[in-house]
Structure 1
């Protein structure tokens, strides 16, 4: 499937006949005893798609984790792993072979059985020669795999090219790793991205593009049955509109909470969810071409941005200034690393020395809120534009909806861009892989940054067991990257959401997803 085709298909209007219970004019709180319970969750944008092999965004992930499952899963509230579709596993003494025993008597939502063949299909489609450029997580998740074998109807063995410490954690991720129904994937072909079928607690019903997605309880689910009958994902771009919708009972839960709305939400007796976010909000440079293939120009621009002032102004205490791609609580974080400090005079002098005193640059950004940037990309870009004007740099801003923005960024548009990341698995490699030159093609490395030293250190870190020696490798990477400045780290956001007091069991997982099976009202 080609990227252009995927984008065209996803932007088309999906004509669906199923009405969404609880959406439209009906109130989210109108649940009565004996009638189906519907929970409405409002977010800022549509998913890019619902096939976990073809997407890399949080909007998609929040739906995907409720429809699909992987061999492993994370425990509630942590990135510790536990069994899911695999019941147990063993690792060879050389650390290269992983054998999984699979859960029996599990069926996909289309009625077909889950077994070893299902796993083989899901992984092999993301390995060469079948893997395509439209699979952003394929190389990251399954790149280490040299061979996958069926060792029984309910057992499989992965053989890795080299020791790879994050492998188990990667198999619990919400992207690439979830197991889709091979029958459904073959049946729908390119349209499987809008017709998901997994083994999870909720079954896909319909997608009304730019409006909502509806899921219903999977009555044949092998595990503990979910509490709510229906989950509706409602798409509302504006933070303030989502907040008003919550306060007037038009929705049950909202994400992307603007700090400016928290006081009025609290005064309306809405509940606020807060936790330390496993994320990074950053400004990136396109390092593959002029002007920002010059590290000195990246340094000059970095000196122009007052990050302390910026974070205080935009996020009002609900984000902290980031010095590293890694959150401070993550193993491998280096507390001594520092990006280039705010220094207007130095920024101007560096531009003058480079003959770039009248530099003109193009900024691209996204229009909707993100988990790592709750005020949206436009406000952030305009703030940076103002800082750049103070050093004589003229910056234009092009803002796009999330789906279009991802395509523009993948195609290399813009000199400066804004982006971020929510950690998938709690491992430092998951963040720092975004600076691996081998991930330029997959588009995970959006800065198109290439440094052989960083690449070699990443390889070394992946092979080491967890512990201080491995942490030292990731600390060294952070120091190198701080000097090269492919990114300017801006902030780590708290995970924020607001919800009706009638809702129980709601939490945002550290990976930024929401597992709805335990949510009730």
Structure 2
């Protein structure tokens, strides 16, 4: 009997060990909103980028914690002396998730579909990323050459961006057509499994990945719109990681033994005026509203110090930032006088805003709009607030069929000043990136000069001159740069936020 009992015990222990070893390692990541899509050519939002970077790869990628570049699908590259020809040697032995080979033709396909005449109006990053590209050639199966129309200083940095630049499977794009936006196929460490709209997106480990394999078997991106609910889910263990941390929840999370990341944010939180129509086609009106908003108070009380008041569009660590730049100072009495001089002493208008938290605005768009509404009421300006779900918000802003101004933000894609300042380029109005519909020929000229100039010091001077114009033209109210915050449970190892606002999860363990 004792021998039978011992045998049974051994079998139970062995069975338990096998079961434990076989249990999949699942990482659950809660975020505020669904992505707009998962085809990098057709999206422009950070929520999409968070998933895209784990499914697809680029020719080059960022080093951990910085926007310095290193090889990825390209192993090396050269640039011609005049800066117009870039040649990339590609990594061999890489396959897409559908089993088709990665090669120069795949790179050519991924880029050419975003170049004229193939590019369509609903490719928001196409011109932003590839406008200087004259042609792209597959020299041999593992060599690709880009010829630019002109020197373009941010070109290599643009190729690392989460949007437009990732390399897609040509076979999958042809197979799914427009539905490729919901059936992504790349070469990355995770493969797409399914998308339950407004609930979750599931990725699974790519067992045939060419590099270091992912440390977890599955990642579930869970959509939880309310910041407080995400915090509660993290504290109960229902999820492992959350982003969009509300400043009100930081102390509660830390006192519960959870880890809270607080990194300097490569972002800008702003109020954008629709500059193409009255009353905000008048810079005097834009300046007056800017001067009626107490941005320091917003940072102190709404964001509880987890943001920095902005003096312009650039965070302080971006080359081109000007520490001497003087923003329009808070002066409500002067603001009232300016409105009277502009002929709109009894101004009223409508804000468009969003219902979720963003990394540049962790308390959500409605709360920010209400805080500014209260400031403007002090000078007799009445405002109406129209709130949209995030999935509908970008379309409403792009169409600009209603409302007079909107709340928005930007998360830097590559650490280059042009990536922020191009949002004021009149050439980006049609792409939707210039949300204010702002147009100034002098600004357009300086932007062009900045990309043509390869000397870093000369570029800094150009961008500092440009920002002085923007402060006076006031197409935006430059509100704040938020700390980039996320939180995770102590059993999660290796999780980091990257400055570009996304996280690579392949080397995160649990």
- Bucket of the pairwise TM-score, normalised by the shorter protein: over 0.9
Give the corresponding residue for 1:116: 104
Give the corresponding residue for 1:359: 347
Aligned CA-pair RMSD: 0.9
- Once the two structures are TM-superposed, the CA of residue 339 in structure 1 deviates from its matched residue by 2.1
> Alignment partner of 2:506: what SS?
helix
How far, CA to CA, are the matches of 2:301 and 2:471 in structure 1? Answer: 24
Give the corresponding residue for 1:223: 211
1:265-344 equivalent positions in 2, closer than 5 A = 265-344=253-332
Give the corresponding residue for 1:58: 46
> Alignment partner of 2:138: what SS?
strand
Residue 443 of structure 1 is aligned with which of 418, 421, 432?
432
- Once the two structures are TM-superposed, the CA of residue 338 in structure 1 deviates from its matched residue by 2.1
| Number of aligned residue pairs | 491
Residue 456 of structure 2 is aligned with which of 454, 464, 467?
467
Give the corresponding residue for 1:478: 467
Give the corresponding residue for 1:170: 158
Contact 1:361 1:394 in 2 (8 A): yes
Give the corresponding residue for 1:141: 129
Give the corresponding residue for 1:371: 359
Structure 2 runs not aligned, ≥5 long: 1-18
- Once the two structures are TM-superposed, the CA of residue 65 in structure 1 deviates from its matched residue by 0.1
How far, CA to CA, are the matches of 1:170 and 1:68 in structure 2? Answer: 15
- Once the two structures are TM-superposed, the CA of residue 186 in structure 1 deviates from its matched residue by 0.9
Deviations 1:342-377 (A, max 9, x none): 111111111122221111101000000001000000
Give the corresponding residue for 2:507: 518
1:53-92 equivalent positions in 2, closer than 5 A = 53-92=41-80
Residue 447 of structure 2 is aligned with which of 451, 458, 462?
458
> Alignment partner of 1:77: what SS?
coil
Deviations 1:430-480 (A, max 9, x none): 000000110001010000111111111111111112421110000001100
How far, CA to CA, are the matches of 2:223 and 2:378 in structure 1? Answer: 37
Deviations 1:282-306 (A, max 9, x none): 1110001111000000011111001
How far, CA to CA, are the matches of 1:150 and 1:354 in structure 2? Answer: 57
How far, CA to CA, are the matches of 1:421 and 1:447 in structure 2? Answer: 13
> Alignment partner of 1:397: what SS?
strand
Give the corresponding residue for 1:3: none
Provide the TM-score with structure 2 as the length reference: 0.95
After superposing the two structures, state which structure 1 stretch, 498-507 or 463-472, moved more.
463-472
Does residue 424 of the first structure (1) align with residue 429 of the second (2)? no
- Once the two structures are TM-superposed, the CA of residue 500 in structure 1 deviates from its matched residue by 0.3
After superposing the two structures, state which structure 1 stretch, 335-344 or 200-209, moved more.
335-344
Structure 1 runs not aligned, ≥5 long: 1-30
How far, CA to CA, are the matches of 2:250 and 2:317 in structure 1? Answer: 25
How far, CA to CA, are the matches of 2:477 and 2:335 in structure 1? Answer: 14
Give the corresponding residue for 2:15: none
- Once the two structures are TM-superposed, the CA of residue 33 in structure 1 deviates from its matched residue by 4.4
How far, CA to CA, are the matches of 1:289 and 1:507 in structure 2? Answer: 43
How far, CA to CA, are the matches of 1:33 and 1:269 in structure 2? Answer: 28
Give the corresponding residue for 2:496: 507
Deviation beyond 6 Å, 4+ runs, structure 1: none
1:148-167 equivalent positions in 2, closer than 5 A = 148-167=136-155
Contact 1:304 1:343 in 2 (8 A): yes
How far, CA to CA, are the matches of 1:32 and 1:46 in structure 2? Answer: 33
- Once the two structures are TM-superposed, the CA of residue 34 in structure 1 deviates from its matched residue by 3.5
Contact 1:273 1:498 in 2 (8 A): yes
> Alignment partner of 1:516: what SS?
coil
How far, CA to CA, are the matches of 2:403 and 2:138 in structure 1? Answer: 46
How far, CA to CA, are the matches of 1:166 and 1:352 in structure 2? Answer: 43
Give the corresponding residue for 2:5: none
Give the corresponding residue for 1:390: 378
> Alignment partner of 2:468: what SS?
helix
After superposing the two structures, state which structure 1 stretch, 507-516 or 464-473, moved more.
464-473
How far, CA to CA, are the matches of 1:49 and 1:338 in structure 2? Answer: 39
How far, CA to CA, are the matches of 2:405 and 2:53 in structure 1? Answer: 32
Deviations 1:371-401 (A, max 9, x none): 1000000000001111111111110000011
Could you say if the C-alpha distance between residues 32 and 292 of structure 1 is closer, same or farther in structure 2, counting changes exceeding 3 Å?
A: farther
How far, CA to CA, are the matches of 1:345 and 1:78 in structure 2? Answer: 43
After superposing the two structures, state which structure 1 stretch, 59-68 or 343-352, moved more.
343-352
How far, CA to CA, are the matches of 2:21 and 2:492 in structure 1? Answer: 15
Does residue 99 of the first structure (1) align with residue 87 of the second (2)? yes
How far, CA to CA, are the matches of 1:246 and 1:428 in structure 2? Answer: 35
Could you say if the C-alpha distance between residues 481 and 414 of structure 1 is closer, same or farther in structure 2, counting changes exceeding 3 Å?
A: same
